[in-house]
Amino acid sequence: MEAATSIKPIIRVAALSGSLRKTSFHTGLLRAAIDLTKESVPGMEIEYIDISPLPLINTDLEINGTYPPVVEAFRLKILDADSILFASPEYNFSVSAPLKNALDWASRAPNVWADKPAAILSTGGSSGGGRAQYHLRQIGVFLDLHFINKPEFTLNAFQPPQKFDAEGNLVDEAAKEKLKQVLVSLQAFTLRLQR
């Protein structure tokens, strides 16, 4: 009798960067995460979702229970994802305006964030974006998001050795390993919640 083999299902992850800069370190973290899933985290596929086309939230744009096409397309991407990966910069001790806008659009009825597992990546100055992460976790309580608790990923982008290149790509190997552990944890948590 052959031994049964367990095959992990593919976890589909929607990845959002709260920074719109062309050479954003946060978007660079998501690119690194996508590369890591191809190299060393089998069973996980990450899709980068560009939030820059979303209009500022305005309920006047909701007509007969429908949303503008760009908002509908964004909401469907979130709904279809098994889990969410946020790259959240810290602006004034909180999340950025573009990320909050995306959070608000996808929370409109029906709330497509509900019951999604999630993880947060942040980089920046001395706190590495940690205060924004805690604020995002508070928002997630109302949105019914379920964040992994460990490992946390905060990264001081300006402390040697160099963490990012001129294009915003993550080049620090220790940070890549830490990022990989976040992805493995998100994958395991997602599978656990799906069961």
Total of domains in the chain = 1
Can you tell me the distance from the alpha carbon of 81 to that of 145, in angstroms, rounded to the nearest whole number?
A: 13
pLDDT tens for each residue of 84-114? 999 999 999 999 999 999 999 999 999 999 9
The answer to the question of residue 21 being in a domain is yes
The answer to the question of residue 159 being in a domain is yes
pLDDT recorded at residue 89: 95
The answer to the question of residue 94 being in a domain is yes
pLDDT at residue 116 greater than cutoff 60: yes
Please give the model's pTM, rounded to 2 decimal places.
0.94
Work out the pLDDT band at 195, boundaries 50, 70, 90: confident
What's the DSSP call for residue 164? Answer: B
pLDDT recorded at residue 158: 92
The answer to the question of residue 54 being in a domain is yes
pLDDT recorded at residue 6: 56
pLDDT tens for each residue of 5-14? 456 679 999 9
The answer to the question of residue 1 being in a domain is no
Which of 183, 132, 147, 195 has its CA nearest to residue 29?
Answer: 183
- Percent of the chain past pLDDT 70, that is, above it, reads 96
pLDDT recorded at residue 7: 62
pLDDT at residue 4 greater than cutoff 50: no
Q: Compute CA distances 2 → 5, 6, 8, 112, whole Å.
A: 9, 12, 19, 42
Helix (H) or strand (E) holding 122: strand 117-124
Q: Structural domain of residue 95, as residue ranges? A: 11-194
Can you tell me the distance from the alpha carbon of 149 to that of 164, in angstroms, rounded to the nearest whole number?
A: 25
Number of helices followed by number of strands (H, E) in the chain: 5, 6
The answer to the question of residue 6 being in a domain is no
pLDDT tens for each residue of 125-179? 888 889 999 999 999 999 999 999 999 999 999 999 999 999 999 999 999 999 9
Provide the residue type at 1 as one letter. M
Long-range contacts of 79-82 (CB under 8 A, 24+ apart): 79/112, 80/12, 80/14, 81/12, 81/13, 81/14, 81/47, 81/116, 82/11, 82/12, 82/13, 82/116, 82/117, 82/190, 82/194
The answer to the question of residue 3 being in a domain is no
Work out the pLDDT band at 74, boundaries 50, 70, 90: very high
Give me the chain's average pLDDT, please: 94
Instruction: Look at the chain and count its residues.
Output: 195
The answer to the question of residue 4 being in a domain is no
Q: What CATH number is attached to the domain comprising 98? A: 3.40.50.360
pLDDT tens for each residue of 34-64? 999 999 999 999 999 999 999 999 999 999 9
Torsions phi, psi for 60 (to 5 deg): -65, -20
